[in-house]
Chain A
Amino acid sequence: MLAFAVKRLGLAVLVALTVSLITFSMIYVSGDPAIAIAGEGARAQDIEAIRQFYGFDRPILVQFFDWLAGAMRGDFGRSYTLRQPVADVIFERLPVTMILGASAIAFALLLAIPLGVWAAVRPNSMIDRLALTIAVVGQAMPTFWFALTLVLWLGVNWRLLPITGSASWQNFVMPAVALGYYVTPAVMRLTRAGVLEVLSADYIRTARAKGLRPGTVLFKHALRNAIIPVVSLAAVQFGFMLGGSIVIETIFQINGLGYLAWESIQRKDLPTMQAIVLVLSVIYVLLTLAADLLNAFLDPRLRVT
């Protein structure tokens, strides 16, 4: 287990370093970030002034290591537009996005796991077909359109929920549903497949033969094993959600990291943009690391790499 953990940790560090290199180079995709900030048709001396002011005139490697060294200390430089350190802004907004992501994943799991189990217990029944239909329909609905439809019906026509802001828990209901439903199909399919497979295993037959109650067999024996892959999927999806929350936060005007990302992209606030991409990527790397370690702990067969 220790050897596996060390190896897996090494991989995570390597991925995080590569991501930081890509994130840093991102501002150079357009060629010259000074021109991108100055905008089209800017005068040559203005571009030169921007280049010197933000330090783009230094060698690229110096810029990268300077930035990376800062990032490791939690210093992402100063925001171009917000006049305060990027790190402060990010850690101010991160909790909101975390709450949104957590509610979204909770919604998805609460809907998907029972449906998946139910569908697996009665394969090819009405409930199985219904679950499959929900999955197919859910995966085809554009997130932002679904969100707007929710706003229109629940927020405006029926006046059940507030449509913008992040003041109370009610503000998070629609965004969490809009963000979470997209994950539901994947979790449901995996739960169904896992339970179906486990239910045909020998030890389940043994448990049934011993005369255990069907509920005990299903929840104590089958679900425990079937749920392992769902745990790592949920971790991965939580990471994707933090990145995908940009669309939802923009629609509901939730003051989280996604909204901040959108603002900084609009204003070409490069340090904030880079920092958000890096922070979200590192969170994803940590989540997958935790999921892999947890899985390896639960299932020793996975420790062989």
Chain B
Amino acid sequence: MAETSLPRADLPTLPEILAPSPAALLRRRIFRHWGLLVGGSILTAILAMALLAPLLAPFDPFDQQLDRKLIPPIWHSSIKATWAHPLGTDQLGRDYLSRLLYGAQISLLIGVSAMLISGVIGTTLGVLAGYFGGRVDMLVGFIVTTRLSMPVVLVALAVVALVGSSLTVVIWVLGLLIWDRFAVVMRSATQQVRAREFITAAEALGASTSRILFTEVAPNVVNHLIVVATLEMAHAILLEAALSFLGLGVQPPTPSWGLMISEAKGLMFFDPWLIAIPGIALFLLVLAINMLGDALRDVTAPENRN
């Protein structure tokens, strides 16, 4: 009986028991990370704007009231400013707030869809290159180099001009063009995981390649994937805005933020708020997504911070 009172090496000591669990540490990192909180809040707000646009919008975003053209926003000193149109109306008398709300749908739709398409392409290429190495790696490296040497905006514009612009075309063109970062990051992430003992163990156990890729490699590279996904979503949103601004993206009268800036370009010297409002919306959305991406990297892999 005496030996039970002796300290046993395999039992955790008191400080170890009282130490926070990994989950608690993660929670603490999340709630102490202001970038994550700020980015997350802005993104949630814009997402809510997009989803609830039919409920929130005071007017139909396509409804032109030509007797109510260019009413300035509510903070403007002009007597024309009215609470009926808090953000004013554009050159065709369409309610700017309603167009802004519906524009959030377009930006998010394009950002998410293009990111998913490019994510599938880039991740497949990157994981294959990282896992198999050798010739597969060389081939993927070659494809990525070729893709990088082609100017994105120019190729996107040319293809959209030839095929004819529509929302679907823009999504596919962007998705097929911006997968390079996915491939590069997933390649190096997979290479690192590939060298770990548990992969060798799985191979020794006779696991099939697809089983190793999906159950051993995938869970260990997914945090890198999420970070790239946020960056590429932001990238796609900015590219769509640029294409729409140049007149070869989403077509009027669709309320896209880039298109709103393009349509207001000629009036910006007289009514600068026309380009300021959609511009700030775009900026906030991209800022929020980027902050969230940086924060997710800090929180899931704090050792990778520089």
A45 within 8 A of B: no
Bound-complex Cα distance A104 to B125 (A) = 33
Asked whether, in the complex, the Cβ of B279 is within 8 Å of the Cβ of A149, the reply is yes
Asked whether, in the complex, the Cβ of B142 is within 8 Å of the Cβ of A14, the reply is yes
**Nearest A residue to B157, CB-CB:** A265
- Once A262-B157, A277-B150, A280-B154 are accepted as A-B contacts, the answer to whether A140 and B242 lie under 8 Å apart by CB is no
Asked whether, in the complex, the Cβ of B286 is within 8 Å of the Cβ of A244, the reply is no
Asked whether, in the complex, the Cβ of B265 is within 8 Å of the Cβ of A15, the reply is no
Asked whether, in the complex, the Cβ of B306 is within 8 Å of the Cβ of A265, the reply is no
Question: Which of A11, A19, A27, A142 interacts with B282 by CB under 8 Å?
Answer: A142
Which secondary structure dominates where chain B touches chain A?
helix
Which B residues touch A221, using CB under 8 A?
none
Asked whether, in the complex, the Cβ of A284 is within 8 Å of the Cβ of B245, the reply is no
Asked whether, in the complex, the Cβ of A29 is within 8 Å of the Cβ of B159, the reply is yes
Q: How close is B84's CB to chain A, nearest CB, in angstroms?
A: 27
Which B residues touch A27, using CB under 8 A?
162
Give how many A residues have a beta carbon under 8 Å from the other chain's beta carbons. 53
Listed residue (B146, B158, B279) with the most chain A CB atoms within 10 angstroms of its CB: B158
Asked whether, in the complex, the Cβ of A30 is within 8 Å of the Cβ of B162, the reply is yes
Which B residues touch A262, using CB under 8 A?
157, 246
Question: Which of B150, B248, B261, B269 interacts with A145 by CB under 8 Å?
Answer: B261
Asked whether, in the complex, the Cβ of A148 is within 8 Å of the Cβ of B268, the reply is yes
Asked whether, in the complex, the Cβ of B151 is within 8 Å of the Cβ of A143, the reply is no
Bound-complex Cα distance A114 to B161 (A) = 42
- Once A15-B142, A192-B306 are accepted as A-B contacts, the answer to whether A265 and B287 lie under 8 Å apart by CB is no
Asked whether, in the complex, the Cβ of B246 is within 8 Å of the Cβ of A250, the reply is yes
Bound-complex Cα distance A23 to B150 (A) = 9
Which A residues touch B276, using CB under 8 A?
149
Bound-complex Cα distance A27 to B159 (A) = 8
Asked whether, in the complex, the Cβ of A11 is within 8 Å of the Cβ of B151, the reply is no
Give how many B residues have a beta carbon under 8 Å from the other chain's beta carbons. 43
B153 within 8 A of A: yes
Asked whether, in the complex, the Cβ of B153 is within 8 Å of the Cβ of A244, the reply is yes
B234 within 8 A of A: yes
**Nearest A residue to B164, CB-CB:** A30
Asked whether, in the complex, the Cβ of A19 is within 8 Å of the Cβ of B154, the reply is no
**Nearest A residue to B272, CB-CB:** A152
Bound-complex Cα distance A143 to B286 (A) = 12
Which secondary structure dominates where chain A touches chain B?
helix
A288 within 8 A of B: yes
B149 within 8 A of A: yes
Q: How close is B148's CB to chain A, nearest CB, in angstroms?
A: 7
Bound-complex Cα distance A16 to B146 (A) = 8
Bound-complex Cα distance A82 to B174 (A) = 30
| CB 8 Å contact bits of B121-140 with A (1 = contact, 0 = none) | 00000000000000000000
Asked whether, in the complex, the Cβ of A142 is within 8 Å of the Cβ of B158, the reply is no
A130 within 8 A of B: no
Which B residues touch A266, using CB under 8 A?
161
B53 within 8 A of A: no
- Once A247-B245, A268-B162 are accepted as A-B contacts, the answer to whether A18 and B146 lie under 8 Å apart by CB is yes
Which A residues touch B97, using CB under 8 A?
none
Question: Which of A16, A243, A265, A281 interacts with B248 by CB under 8 Å?
Answer: A265
A242 within 8 A of B: yes
Which B residues touch A142, using CB under 8 A?
238, 241-242, 258, 279, 282-283, 286
Q: How close is A264's CB to chain B, nearest CB, in angstroms?
A: 9
Question: Which of A26, A139, A144, A280 interacts with B159 by CB under 8 Å?
Answer: A26
Asked whether, in the complex, the Cβ of B157 is within 8 Å of the Cβ of A246, the reply is yes
Q: Spell out B's residues near A (CB within 8 Å).
A: 142, 145-146, 148-155, 157-159, 161-164, 234, 238, 241-242, 245-246, 248, 258, 261, 265, 268-269, 272, 275-276, 279, 282-284, 286-287, 290-291, 294, 306
Q: Spell out A's residues near B (CB within 8 Å).
A: 11, 14-16, 18-19, 22-23, 26-27, 29-30, 33, 36, 136-137, 139-145, 148-149, 152, 156, 189, 192-193, 196, 236, 239-240, 242-244, 246-247, 250, 261-262, 265-266, 268, 273, 276-277, 280-281, 284-285, 288
A–B pairs, 9, beta carbons within 8 Å: A15-B149, A27-B162, A136-B291, A144-B258, A145-B279, A189-B306, A192-B306, A243-B154, A277-B155
